């Protein structure tokens, strides 16, 4: 018994833990008593117990929520709301008393919003002090509280993303009386906020504060008013984030940009309108884009611009010394491309109305004001650099709204038929197309690459402006019955194979490749019966062989080199056509060509400025540098792949009867071949030289002595390869149509 008694006596008696609410109140009153009892308010807050008390309060609130049913408000949270603790903390933070208090208050707000699962922002005693604290953020550049400010703003943005309608709380009316900032008023607010808890009822407290809206209860919530008059509203959350994007700390800038990304994506129309009308967001995007562009060197190697690594905004961390060693201006280029990526992503994520306004701002303030003069200049070095940069911009832009504005900037908004008289109507469009046939081969190649990039973008106006509007009436066709249409002899060249048996073209064509149905490949209704056999096989081979037989045997060299047959183009053509069908699926390109009887065939045909320049260059393929020829044929093959009935007919049907004075891609190549036949016989040892040049181009033969007529020989090789590519494209398109036929 004695041992048991001694054991009991020696065991310490633990005091019962205080209920959570009492503990919470104790910590809060410890903070308020500090202000009442302390006369020295110059000591930093870290020398006091305030940070510890605030941390304890947060822990208690988190613990209380964890012990209760989801959504139920506990007595500690009730106390925080009822006694307007957040309002008091805001006042203390604004006064930064003691020094460093603003930092502590920002941290408390941030953790409270982050850790408490129940929605707090609908409470008037939460969203009102949150609004006020938002206004304090970003006021001072490079402030010591920047990190806490951005963390707080980002958690508010995240909460609005979860419940977008709450954003209307943050659209503050401009006509609202501004907060008085005189020292006397600040002192009065501080004294009122720090008055000890007297046990007054909520009604009595409201009576003492006539300017305070009446809340139904301590935990009352309010509904945000949908502010349709957004033109008279302030969007301080955006303004504060914009201020922080000017921080010298790159990490702060990235976080601020992330916050803006969240806000622009909110689906509230009033917020979207306020964003573009009452904030400087558009100015930030465009001014920074312009400044980054102007920081680029006046002259840059197009290859450097084209090959610099892909850039994602926020990740443009680079080593200045290393980049300068690679090429001058690499750091500036990465900064420009990084900000362009941010603008593009922001517009892509934005509410539709805001996206349109931001994209128009980029068009007017950057493309028109800055890029257009660069593209219209006469300096060849300047043209080359600006065209290479524009090509990189086109490649990088993915947002629908920004792409649309960029296309209108480059090509204009005109939709009617082109004529010889109207091609100069849009000076920039005219200049860019003319640059495809510039005296400088470098400028020609870069501009052709630009258009190759452009016609692959998912925007219907690009193709309509450049080619389709001029083919709408099919007035390239002869205005008479076509019973006499000539057909080429259906001979089989050495490299023609029975491709219907090719395993690549079994039944594995994707639905996208079949989406347009078999009708769209039908040529004009007046085709001869022999041209359209029931199984489609003869038709396919006739068209394929029309292209394969264009180049005479004595000018062919691919059959001397293994692995260079026509079938090598099929896989690429299949993949590219499938990709194009996916892009064009949303456009109304289905069905037959426009019925012949409904076409205005009396209208004079003009192929359009773009096709005119391409055909002109194609006609000079035997006299142009190899690299130019490769780029010209690359653009034409991309156009040939498009699943539009008129474009297919005009570029890939050798059997159409052209109207007098008109030319098609096939007729242009026929003329080139005719010229080639005359020139072959003037060159001794033509075939051995041709084979040697091909092997050198393939890297199968070392560079040796110069070969005479090198430009011509290289042109012949490109011509042969292009005809094989067109044959492959024609086959793939016909096969896709046949596969989707009933």
Structure tokens at 741: 């036929």
Phi-psi region of 124 (alpha: psi -120 to 50; beta: other; left: phi over 0): alpha
Residues in the chain: 742
Paired with 173 in beta bridges are 233
Which of 282, 297, 300, 298 has its CA nearest to residue 365? 282
The answer to which of 33-37, 221-225, 514-518, 631-635 has the lowest mean pLDDT is 514-518
Q: Which 3 state secondary structure label does DSSP give 236?
A: helix
Separation between Cα atoms, residue 662 and residue 601, nearest integer Å: 12
Structure tokens at 470: 């001029």
pLDDT of residue 551: 93
Which has more confidence, 696 or 701? 696
Report helix angle 710-740 to 645-652, nearest 10: 140
Place of tokens 């900032």: 181
The answer to which of 62-76, 220-234, 682-696 has the lowest mean pLDDT is 220-234
- Checking if the pLDDT of 429 tops 90, the result is yes
Structure tokens at 573: 């053509």
Which has more confidence, 532 or 374? 374
How large is the average pLDDT for residues 1-9?
41
CA 411, 413, 418, 421 dihedral sign is: negative
Contact 374, 388 (CB under 8 A): no
The answer to which of 222-226, 614-618, 703-707 has the lowest mean pLDDT is 222-226
pLDDT of residue 221: 60
The answer to which of 488-502, 625-639, 671-685 has the lowest mean pLDDT is 488-502
pLDDT of residue 223: 61
User: Where does the pLDDT of residue 174 fall: very low under 50, low under 70, confident under 90, or very high at 90 and above?
Assistant: low
Structure tokens at 511: 């639905």
pLDDT of residue 256: 96
How large is the average pLDDT for residues 167-191?
59
Which has more confidence, 457 or 175? 457
Structure tokens at 618: 């194609």
Which of 19, 122, 118 has its CA nearest to residue 69? 118
The answer to which of 183-192, 220-229, 432-441 has the lowest mean pLDDT is 183-192
Contact 367, 285 (CB under 8 A): no
How large is the average pLDDT for residues 38-57?
90
DSSP assignment letter at 14: P
Q: With helix as H, strand as E and coil as C, how does 546-578 read?
A: HHHCCCCHHHCCHHHCCCCCHHHHHHHHHHHHH
- Checking if the pLDDT of 208 tops 50, the result is no
- Checking if the pLDDT of 383 tops 70, the result is yes
pLDDT of residue 588: 79
The pLDDT tens digits of the residues spanning 518-545 come to 444 443 333 433 444 444 455 788 999 9
Residue 577 sits at the vertex; the CA angle it makes with 574 and 580, to the nearest 5 degrees, is 150
Q: Which 3 state secondary structure label does DSSP give 589?
A: coil
Place of tokens 């080199």: 561
Q: With helix as H, strand as E and coil as C, how does 302-323 read?
A: HHHHHHCCCCCCCCCCCCHHHH
pLDDT of residue 499: 42
Which of 311, 310, 304, 299 has its CA nearest to residue 325? 304
The answer to which of 3-12, 48-57, 153-162, 353-362 has the lowest mean pLDDT is 3-12
Which of 104-118, 178-192, 521-535, 677-691 has maximum average pLDDT? 104-118
Q: Which 3 state secondary structure label does DSSP give 485?
A: coil
Alpha carbon 349 to its chain's center: 9
How large is the average pLDDT for residues 16-43?
85
Interior/surface letters 312-342, b for 16+ CB within 10 angstroms, e for the rest: ebbebebeeeebeeebebbbbbbbbbbbbbb
Contact 266, 167 (CB under 8 A): yes
User: Where does the pLDDT of residue 204 fall: very low under 50, low under 70, confident under 90, or very high at 90 and above?
Assistant: very low
Contact 290, 365 (CB under 8 A): yes
How large is the average pLDDT for residues 410-428?
95
Rg over alpha carbons for the chain, rounded to the nearest Å, is 36
- The DSSP result for 101-136, as a single string, is HHHHHHHHHHHHHHH--S--TTBHHHHHHHHHHHHH
Separation between Cα atoms, residue 28 and residue 57, nearest integer Å: 7
User: Where does the pLDDT of residue 71 fall: very low under 50, low under 70, confident under 90, or very high at 90 and above?
Assistant: confident
The answer to which of 46-55, 64-73, 218-227 has the lowest mean pLDDT is 218-227
Which of 687, 472, 675 has its CA nearest to residue 560? 687
The answer to which of 34-38, 92-96, 388-392, 574-578 has the lowest mean pLDDT is 34-38
pLDDT of residue 597: 84
Cβ partners under 8 Å of residue 188, min gap 6? none
Paired with 221 in beta bridges are 123
Place of tokens 């001869």: 528
Which of 423, 386, 388, 428 has its CA nearest to residue 407? 428
Strand stretches in 351-411, DSSP E: none
Separation between Cα atoms, residue 354 and residue 264, nearest integer Å: 7
pLDDT of residue 593: 85
Interior/surface letters 225-234, b for 16+ CB within 10 angstroms, e for the rest: eebeebeebb
The pLDDT tens digits of the residues spanning 460-518 come to 999 999 999 999 999 999 876 544 444 433 344 444 444 444 443 444 444 344 334 44
Separation between Cα atoms, residue 728 and residue 569, nearest integer Å: 6
pLDDT of residue 5: 33
Separation between Cα atoms, residue 254 and residue 252, nearest integer Å: 6
The torsion angles phi and psi of 477, rounded to 5 degrees, stand at -85, 150
How large is the average pLDDT for residues 266-284?
95
Which has more confidence, 322 or 100? 100
Separation between Cα atoms, residue 511 and residue 740, nearest integer Å: 8
Separation between Cα atoms, residue 269 and residue 267, nearest integer Å: 6
Which strand (E) or helix (H) includes residue 607? none
How large is the average pLDDT for residues 703-709?
84
CA 531, 537, 543, 546 dihedral sign is: negative
Separation between Cα atoms, residue 72 and residue 118, nearest integer Å: 8
- Checking if the pLDDT of 187 tops 90, the result is no
User: Where does the pLDDT of residue 225 fall: very low under 50, low under 70, confident under 90, or very high at 90 and above?
Assistant: low
Cβ partners under 8 Å of residue 252, min gap 6? 146, 147, 150, 244
Q: Across all residues in the chain, what is the average pLDDT?
A: 83
Tell me the HSE value of 643 on the side-chain side, using a 13 A CA sphere.
34
Dihedral, 471, 474, 475, 478 alpha carbons, nearest 10: 140
Dihedral, 469, 665, 572, 646 alpha carbons, nearest 10: 30
Place of tokens 């409270």: 112
């Amino acid at each position: 018994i004695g041992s048991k008694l001694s054991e009991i006596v020696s065991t310490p008696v633990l005091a019962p833990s205080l209920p959570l609410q009492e503990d919470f109140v104790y910590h809060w009153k410890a903070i308020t008593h500090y202000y009442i009892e302390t006369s020295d308010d110059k000591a930093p807050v870290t020398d006091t117990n305030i940070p510890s008390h605030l941390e304890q309060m947060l822990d208690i609130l988190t613990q209380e929520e964890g012990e209760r049913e989801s959504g139920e408000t506990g007595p500690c949270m009730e106390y925080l709301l009822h006694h307007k603790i957040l309002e008091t903390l805001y006042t203390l933070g604004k006064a930064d008393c003691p020094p460093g208090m603003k930092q502590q208050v920002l941290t408390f707000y941030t953790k409270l919003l982050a850790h408490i699962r129940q929605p707090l922002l609908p409470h008037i005693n939460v969203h009102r002090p949150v609004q006020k604290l938002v206004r304090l953020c970003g006021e001072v550049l490079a402030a010591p509280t920047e990190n806490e400010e951005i963390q707080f703003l980002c958690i508010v943005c995240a909460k609005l993303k979860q419940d977008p309608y709450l954003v209307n709380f943050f659209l503050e009316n401009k006509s609202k009386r501004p907060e008085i900032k005189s020292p006397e008023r600040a002192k009065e607010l501080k004294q009122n906020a720090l008055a000890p808890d007297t046990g007054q009822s909520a009604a009595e407290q409201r009576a003492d504060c006539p300017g305070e809206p009446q809340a139904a209860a301590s935990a009352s919530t309010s509904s945000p008013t949908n502010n349709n008059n957004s033109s008279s509203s302030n969007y301080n959350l955006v303004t504060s984030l914009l201020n922080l994007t000017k921080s010298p700390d790159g990490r702060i800038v990235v976080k601020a940009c992330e916050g803006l990304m969240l806000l622009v994506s909110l689906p509230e129309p009033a917020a979207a309108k306020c964003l573009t009308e009452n904030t400087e967001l558009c100015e930030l995007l465009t001014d920074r884009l312009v400044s980054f562009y102007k920081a680029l060197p006046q002259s840059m190697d197009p290859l450097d611009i084209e090959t610099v690594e892909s850039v994602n905004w926020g990740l443009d961390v680079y080593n200045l010394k290393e980049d300068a060693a690679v090429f001058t201006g690499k750091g500036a280029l990465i900064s420009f491309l990084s900000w362009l990526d941010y603008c593009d992503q922001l517009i892509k994520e934005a509410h539709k109305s805001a996206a349109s306004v931001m994209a128009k701002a980029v068009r007017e303030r950057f493309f028109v004001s800055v890029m257009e003069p660069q593209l219209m200049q006469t300096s060849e070095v300047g043209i080359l650099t600006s065209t290479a940069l524009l090509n990189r911009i086109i490649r990088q832009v993915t947002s629908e709204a920004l792409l649309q504005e960029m296309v209108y900037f480059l090509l204009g908004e005109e939709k009617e038929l082109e004529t010889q008289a109207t091609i100069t109507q849009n000076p920039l469009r005219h200049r860019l197309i003319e640059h495809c046939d510039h005296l400088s081969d470098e400028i020609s190649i870069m501009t052709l690459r630009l258009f190759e990039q452009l016609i692959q973008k998912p925007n219907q106006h690009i193709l309509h402006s450049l080619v389709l509007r001029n083919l709408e009436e099919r007035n390239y066709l002869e205005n008479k019955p076509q019973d006499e249409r000539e057909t080429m002899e259906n001979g089989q060249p050495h490299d023609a194979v029975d491709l219907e048996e090719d395993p690549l073209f079994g039944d594995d064509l994707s639905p996208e490749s079949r989406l347009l149905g078999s009708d769209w490949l039908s040529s004009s209704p007046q085709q001869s019966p022999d041209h359209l056999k029931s199984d489609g096989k003869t038709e396919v081979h006739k068209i394929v062989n029309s292209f394969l037989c264009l180049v005479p045997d004595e000018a062919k060299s691919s059959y001397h080199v293994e692995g260079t047959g026509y079938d090598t183009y099929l896989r690429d053509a299949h993949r590219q056509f499938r990709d194009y069908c996916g892009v064009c699926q949303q456009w109304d390109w289905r069905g037959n060509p426009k019925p012949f009887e409904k076409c205005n065939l009396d209208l004079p045909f003009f192929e359009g400025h773009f096709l005119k320049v391409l055909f002109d260059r194609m006609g000079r393929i035997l006299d142009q540098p190899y690299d130019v020829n490769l780029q010209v044929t690359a653009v034409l093959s991309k156009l040939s792949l498009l699943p539009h009935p008129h474009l297919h007919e005009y570029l890939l049907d050798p059997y159409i009867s052209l109207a007098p004075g008109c030319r098609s891609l096939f007729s242009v190549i026929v003329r080139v071949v005719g010229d080639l036949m005359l020139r072959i016989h003037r060159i001794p040892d033509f075939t051995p030289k041709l084979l040697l040049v091909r092997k050198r181009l393939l890297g199968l033969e070392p560079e040796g002595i110069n070969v005479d007529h090198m430009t011509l020989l290289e042109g012949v090789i490109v011509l042969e390869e292009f005809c094989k590519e067109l044959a492959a494209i024609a086959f793939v398109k016909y096969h896709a149509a046949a596969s989707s036929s009933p």
